[in-house]
Structures are given as structure tokens and as C-alpha cells.
Structure 1
Amino acid sequence: MDVLIHLFVGLHIIGIASLLGGFLTQMKALGEGTARFSPAMLHGALTMLVTGVILVGLNQADDNTVNNVKIGVKLALLVVILGLVYVKRDEERADKAQFGLVGGLTAANVFIAVLWT
């Protein structure tokens, strides 16, 4: 079971990298007002959602303790991120505040995962 959990942790990290990487590669365009939500950001958020749900299930099945409050907070942030990226994915230009919010919430999600014990 540990190998399976580690496999999904790796996939979860790939999703985070896709979402955060898509944000970071648009920073220059954000300054110019031409940033947009890329398909990689949407796929990264979806990957995070699916692998996160699977990880919670696998950890509970393996009788590991799961901090449900932490998972709930991370899920709420991810739902906001996913909603913004999904709704605005076809627009030519993303609003600076919304685009920055996605980056900030993604970074917050990473720090919650790492620092909240």
C-alpha cells in the first residue's frame, strides 16, 4: 500500500508543478496585461483534485490518521482555484487580480500541506 500512496503523492506533486508552473511562466505576461490561464493550469488543478481524493482514501484504507480539517481547507482552496481556472480558461486575457489569486492560493495550498502538522 505504501508504494501506491507514494505513487499518488508523486502524481499530486506533478499536478502542483503544472498549476504553479503555468502561473509562474505567465508572470511577465501578467505585467504586460496579456496573461491567460493555460490548459496546463487546468489539468494540473484537476490532477491535484483527483490524486488528493485518492490519497485521502488510500490513507484511510491503510488506517493512517488523516487530518480532516486540513484536507477540508486544502479542498476548499483547490475548488476556488479550479473554479477560476475553469471559468476563465477560454478568455484571451485574465484579470490580474484573479490570476494573482490563483497563484497565491496555489502557494498557500503548498504551504498548508507542508507546514500544517
Structure 2
Amino acid sequence: MDVLIHLFVGLHIIGIAALLGGFLTQMKAMGQGTARFVPGMLHGALTMLVTGVVLVGLNQAQDYPLDNIKIGVKLALLIVILGLVYVKRDEEKVDKSMFGVVGLLTMTNIFIAVLWT
């Protein structure tokens, strides 16, 4: 079961890489006011959501201790990110502040995962 958990952790990291990578590749365009949410950002956020839910289930099945508050905060941030990216995914350009909020929430989610113990 631990191998399965590690596999889904790897997939979860790939999802965050797609979301953050999509944001970082649009940084120059954000400065020019022409940034847009690329499809990889949506797919990365969806990958994070699915793998995160699976990870919670697998860890509960193994009776590993879980911090439900941490998981709830991370889920809430991810739902906001996913909602913003999904709603604005077809627009040619996105407002700088909204694009920046998605990047900030993504990085906040990363730091919560790493630093909240």
C-alpha cells in the first residue's frame, strides 16, 4: 500500500508542477497584461484535486494520522484556484490581479504542504 501512496504523491507533485509551471511561463505576459490561463494549469489543478482525494483515502485506509484542518485549508485553496482557472480558461487575456492571485494561492498551497507539520 505504501508504494501506491508514493505513486499518488508523485502524481500530486506532477499536478502542482503543471499548475505552477503554467503560471511561471506566463509571468512575462502578466507584466504586459496579456497573460492567460493555459490548459496545463487547469489539468494540473484537476490532477491535484483527484490525487489529493485519493491520498487522503489511502492514508485513512492505512490508519495513518491525518491533519484534517491542513487538508481542509489546502482543499479550500485548490477549489478557489480551480474555480478561477476554470471560469477564465477560454478568455484571451486575464486581469493581472486575478492571474497573480492564482499564482499566490498556488505557492501558498505548496508552502502549507511543506511547512505545516
Could you tell me the TM-score, scaled by structure 1's length? 0.99
Q: Distance in 2 between matches of 1:116 and 1:45?
A: 21
1:6 match: 6
1:74 match: 74
TM-superposed deviation, 1:115:
0.3
TM-superposed deviation, 1:27:
0.3
Matched, 1:17 2:17: yes
User: Structure 2 matches for 1:29-108, cutoff 5 A?
Assistant: 29-108=29-108
**What code does the residue aligned with 1:71 have?**
I
> Gaps (5+ residues) in structure 2?
none
**Structure 1 residue ranges (4+ consecutive) displaced by more than 6 angstroms after TM superposition:** none
TM-superposed deviation, 1:92:
0.3
Q: Summarize deviations over 1:72-117 as a string: whole Å, max 9, x none.
A: 0000000000000000000000110110000000000000000000
Q: Distance in 1 between matches of 2:70 and 2:82?
A: 18
**What code does the residue aligned with 2:86 have?**
Y
Q: Distance in 2 between matches of 1:92 and 1:24?
A: 17
TM-superposed deviation, 1:11:
0.1
Give the superposed CA RMSD.
0.3
> % of aligned pairs identical?
81
TM-superposed deviation, 1:36:
0.1
TM-superposed deviation, 1:39:
0.3
